[in-house]
Structure 1
Amino acid sequence: MAPEVAAGALELLPTRLRKRVDGAAAKAAGRPVEPFPDGVLVRVTEETTVTLRLTAGIVATEADAVCDCLLAPACLHRAAVLSLAPLAMEPVGGRSGDRSGDPDEKQRPTEESVATEPGATGHGAAGHGAAEPGGAVTGAEPDARVTVALRGLRDAVTAVLVAGVTGTGAVQRAELLHAAHSARLAGLPRPAAAAVRIARRLDEARTGDPAFRLAALSGELAGLLDLVRRPAEALAPARRGYRQSGPLRLYGLFTEPVVTASGYAGATTYALAPDGTLRTVSDIAPGGPGRALQASGTPVPGGCALALRELGDGAGAILTSPAVSADGRIGGGGQVRSVRAAGAGWQDPPLADRWERPPAEQLAAALAWAAEPADTRAVGGDLLFLAGTVTATGFAVTGGPTLRLSAPDERPELPWAENVALLMARPGLALRLIARVLPDRPDRVHALAARWTGHDGEPVRADLGLRRLNRSHIPPVGPPVREAGATDTAGSPTPVSPPEPSSPSSPSSPPALPVELDLLRRTVERAVAGGRAVTAAAADGELPRRLRAVGLTTGARLAEALTEAAADRRHDALGRLLPADPEGFALAWLAAAVYSGAAAESLLLAAWKPAVISSEVN
Structure 2
Amino acid sequence: MSLPPIAAGVTAEAVAALPTRLRGKLDAAVDQARGWPIAREGAIVTVRPDDRTVVTLTTPVTEPGDATCSCLLAPRCLHRAAVLSAAPVLTDDPDSSPPLTAPMDPPPSGTAQAPAQLAGTKTASEISPAVTGMPTGSATPGSAKPGSAKPGSAKTGSAKTGSVKSSGQVTSAQAGAASGLWSAAAAVLSTGIPGAGAVARADVLRGVHQARAAGLHAPAATAVRVVEHLRAAQRDDPSFRLADLTNDLRDLLVSCHRLTTGDATAAGVARRDYEPVGDLRLSGLFCEPVRAATGHAGAVTYLADARGRIWLVSDVKPANPEVAVSAARASVELGEVRLSHHDLSRSGLLAVNAHASAAGRLSHGRDRRAVAAPGTGWFDPPLDALWRADPAAQADRWLAATTVAPHERPAASDLAFLDGVVLGADHRGLLLAVGEGAGAADRGERSGQHGHDLVVAATAPHDDPALPYVVNLRQLAAHAAGHPIRLVARFSGVRRVAALAFAADWLPSRHGGHVDLGTTTLTRADLPGAGPVPAATDDDPPPPPLHLVRHQLERVVAAGRTALLSGVDDGAGRLTAAHLGAAASVLAELRAAGVRRTRDVFGRLDPHDADGLARAWLVAAVYEQAAAQVVTWSAWQARTATVTLA
Judge same fold: TM > 0.5, yes or no.
Answer: yes
In structure 2, the CA distance between the partners of 1:79 and 1:309, relative to structure 1 (3 Å rule), is: closer
Matched, 1:236 2:268: yes
CA drift of 1:283 comes to 2.1
Matched, 1:398 2:435: yes
**Structure 1 gaps, min length 5:** 479-497, 614-618
Q: Distance in 2 between matches of 1:508 and 1:283?
A: 44
Matched, 1:52 2:55: yes
Partner AA of 1:544 in structure 2: A
Matched, 1:173 2:201: yes
| 1:481-529: CA deviation from partner (whole Å, max 9, x where unpaired) | xxxxxxxxxxxxxxxxx43444xxx3279x9644x32222111000001
Q: Any idea what SS the aligned residue of 1:330 has?
A: coil
In structure 2, the CA distance between the partners of 1:557 and 1:176, relative to structure 1 (3 Å rule), is: same
In structure 2, the CA distance between the partners of 1:12 and 1:273, relative to structure 1 (3 Å rule), is: same
Matched, 1:310 2:338: no
Following superposition of structure 1 onto structure 2, how do residues 484-563 of structure 1 map, counting pairs within 5 Å?
Answer: 498-502=532-536, 506-507=537-538, 513-514=543-544, 516-535=545-564, 537-563=565-591
Partner AA of 1:11 in structure 2: A
Q: Any idea what SS the aligned residue of 2:229 has?
A: helix
Greater shift in the superposed pair: 282-291 or 104-113: 104-113
Other-structure match for 1:278: 310
Other-structure match for 2:381: 349
Preserved CA contact (<8 Å) 2:418 2:488: yes
Other-structure match for 1:8: 13
In structure 2, the CA distance between the partners of 1:51 and 1:2, relative to structure 1 (3 Å rule), is: farther
Question: Which one of 129, 146, 149 corresponds to residue 114 of structure 1?
Answer: 149
CA drift of 1:558 comes to 0.9
Q: Any idea what SS the aligned residue of 1:285 has?
A: strand
Q: Any idea what SS the aligned residue of 2:638 has?
A: coil
Preserved CA contact (<8 Å) 2:503 2:515: yes
Preserved CA contact (<8 Å) 1:113 1:221: no
Preserved CA contact (<8 Å) 2:108 2:628: no
Q: Any idea what SS the aligned residue of 2:375 has?
A: coil
Other-structure match for 1:340: 372
Following superposition of structure 1 onto structure 2, how do residues 185-204 of structure 1 map, counting pairs within 5 Å?
Answer: 185-204=213-232
Q: Distance in 1 between matches of 2:301 and 2:558?
A: 37
Greater shift in the superposed pair: 365-374 or 104-113: 104-113
CA drift of 1:553 comes to 2.0
In structure 2, the CA distance between the partners of 1:321 and 1:119, relative to structure 1 (3 Å rule), is: closer
Q: Any idea what SS the aligned residue of 1:298 has?
A: coil
Question: Which one of 474, 477, 481 corresponds to residue 427 of structure 1?
Answer: 481
Matched, 1:454 2:506: yes
In structure 2, the CA distance between the partners of 1:146 and 1:586, relative to structure 1 (3 Å rule), is: same
Q: Distance in 2 between matches of 1:342 and 1:575?
A: 75
In structure 2, the CA distance between the partners of 1:99 and 1:195, relative to structure 1 (3 Å rule), is: closer
CA drift of 1:429 comes to 0.6
Question: Which one of 22, 25, 32 corresponds to residue 29 of structure 2?
Answer: 25
Q: Distance in 1 between matches of 2:38 and 2:520?
A: 41
In structure 2, the CA distance between the partners of 1:286 and 1:93, relative to structure 1 (3 Å rule), is: closer
Q: Distance in 2 between matches of 1:249 and 1:36?
A: 42
Q: Any idea what SS the aligned residue of 2:626 has?
A: helix
| 1:186-238: CA deviation from partner (whole Å, max 9, x where unpaired) | 12222122222212221222222222211111111111000112231332214
CA drift of 1:336 comes to 2.9
Sequence identity percentage = 33
Q: Distance in 2 between matches of 1:30 and 1:307?
A: 33
Other-structure match for 2:610: 582
Preserved CA contact (<8 Å) 1:101 1:117: no
Matched, 1:208 2:260: no
CA drift of 1:467 comes to 2.2
Question: Which one of 444, 457, 471 corresponds to residue 418 of structure 1?
Answer: 471
Q: Distance in 1 between matches of 2:254 and 2:549?
A: 19
Preserved CA contact (<8 Å) 2:100 2:291: no
Q: Distance in 2 between matches of 1:61 and 1:570?
A: 39
Q: Distance in 1 between matches of 2:542 and 2:417?
A: 21
Partner AA of 1:329 in structure 2: R
Partner AA of 1:20 in structure 2: G
Question: Which one of 408, 427, 430 corresponds to residue 461 of structure 2?
Answer: 408
Other-structure match for 1:436: 490
Matched, 1:162 2:194: no
Q: Distance in 1 between matches of 2:40 and 2:488?
A: 49
In structure 2, the CA distance between the partners of 1:151 and 1:214, relative to structure 1 (3 Å rule), is: same
Q: Distance in 1 between matches of 2:335 and 2:343?
A: 15
CA drift of 1:128 comes to 3.3
CA drift of 1:321 comes to 1.4
Partner AA of 2:471 in structure 1: E
Partner AA of 1:298 in structure 2: S
Q: Any idea what SS the aligned residue of 1:54 has?
A: strand
Preserved CA contact (<8 Å) 2:29 2:82: yes
Preserved CA contact (<8 Å) 2:458 2:496: yes
Partner AA of 2:434 in structure 1: V
Q: Distance in 2 between matches of 1:377 and 1:114?
A: 10
Q: Any idea what SS the aligned residue of 2:91 has?
A: coil
CA drift of 1:23 comes to 6.3
Q: Any idea what SS the aligned residue of 1:596 has?
A: helix
| 1:557-579: CA deviation from partner (whole Å, max 9, x where unpaired) | 11111111111235899999866
Q: Distance in 1 between matches of 2:327 and 2:639?
A: 46
| 1:574-598: CA deviation from partner (whole Å, max 9, x where unpaired) | 9998665221210111121222222
| 1:20-50: CA deviation from partner (whole Å, max 9, x where unpaired) | 2446637965996585864435457x9xx65
Paired positions, count? 571
Q: Distance in 2 between matches of 1:174 and 1:249?
A: 47
In structure 2, the CA distance between the partners of 1:147 and 1:57, relative to structure 1 (3 Å rule), is: closer
Other-structure match for 1:388: 420
Preserved CA contact (<8 Å) 1:25 1:84: no
Partner AA of 1:410 in structure 2: D
Q: Distance in 2 between matches of 1:72 and 1:263?
A: 27
CA drift of 1:73 comes to 3.5
In structure 2, the CA distance between the partners of 1:265 and 1:11, relative to structure 1 (3 Å rule), is: closer
Other-structure match for 1:149: 177
Other-structure match for 1:482: none
Q: Any idea what SS the aligned residue of 2:317 has?
A: strand
Q: Distance in 1 between matches of 2:391 and 2:580?
A: 26
Q: Any idea what SS the aligned residue of 1:211 has?
A: coil
In structure 2, the CA distance between the partners of 1:31 and 1:128, relative to structure 1 (3 Å rule), is: closer
Q: Any idea what SS the aligned residue of 1:436 has?
A: strand
Q: Distance in 2 between matches of 1:91 and 1:102?
A: 21
Q: Any idea what SS the aligned residue of 2:278 has?
A: coil
Other-structure match for 1:616: none
Other-structure match for 2:139: none
Preserved CA contact (<8 Å) 1:249 1:318: yes
| 1:235-264: CA deviation from partner (whole Å, max 9, x where unpaired) | 221411002332111122222222223332
| 1:442-463: CA deviation from partner (whole Å, max 9, x where unpaired) | 2531111111121789995222
In structure 2, the CA distance between the partners of 1:420 and 1:328, relative to structure 1 (3 Å rule), is: same
Q: Distance in 1 between matches of 2:508 and 2:187?
A: 62
Question: Which one of 465, 469, 493 corresponds to residue 518 of structure 2?
Answer: 465
Q: Distance in 1 between matches of 2:543 and 2:166?
A: 38
CA drift of 1:545 comes to 1.5
Preserved CA contact (<8 Å) 1:6 1:82: no
| 1:263-303: CA deviation from partner (whole Å, max 9, x where unpaired) | 32222221211222111122223333445534445246121
Preserved CA contact (<8 Å) 1:32 1:42: yes
Partner AA of 1:99 in structure 2: P
| 1:297-328: CA deviation from partner (whole Å, max 9, x where unpaired) | 52461214544323322x32211112111221
| 1:314-345: CA deviation from partner (whole Å, max 9, x where unpaired) | x3221111211122111124553223334332
In structure 2, the CA distance between the partners of 1:572 and 1:338, relative to structure 1 (3 Å rule), is: closer
Partner AA of 2:106 in structure 1: K
Q: Any idea what SS the aligned residue of 1:364 has?
A: helix
Greater shift in the superposed pair: 453-462 or 277-286: 453-462
Q: Any idea what SS the aligned residue of 2:294 has?
A: coil
Q: Any idea what SS the aligned residue of 1:240 has?
A: coil
Partner AA of 1:452 in structure 2: A
